[in-house]
Structure 1
């Protein structure tokens, strides 16, 4: 069991060494994409909140 785990760990380490640049590039792209989506959603939520407060203000004025 331990020998198998060590072999898997070594394979994973070798894979990381050979492919870590691609992995880092991919994860960086994913992070940027997720940050963009989060900020885009936040902006959308802010606009919705402003629209809701605006419509609430119109209701109060009438």
Structure 2
């Protein structure tokens, strides 16, 4: 498996020049992760900080 990103509905990844600048969300609780395989051939999921862009009510 190649490393990559997983994002919930309502979340998006903001890239510039192939560099991840931030993860944003229009939905409270939406998450995103960077997923890869570690040296023990196990799935490694790293949670990314998500900036909520909406108005909290």
TM-score by length of 1: 0.19
Q: Quick one: higher RCO (CA 8 Å, sep 6+), 1 or 2?
A: 2
When Rg is computed on C-alpha atoms for both structures, the one with the higher figure is 1
The structure with more helix, counted as a fraction of residues: 1
TM-score by length of 2: 0.20
The structure with more strand, counted as a fraction of residues: 2
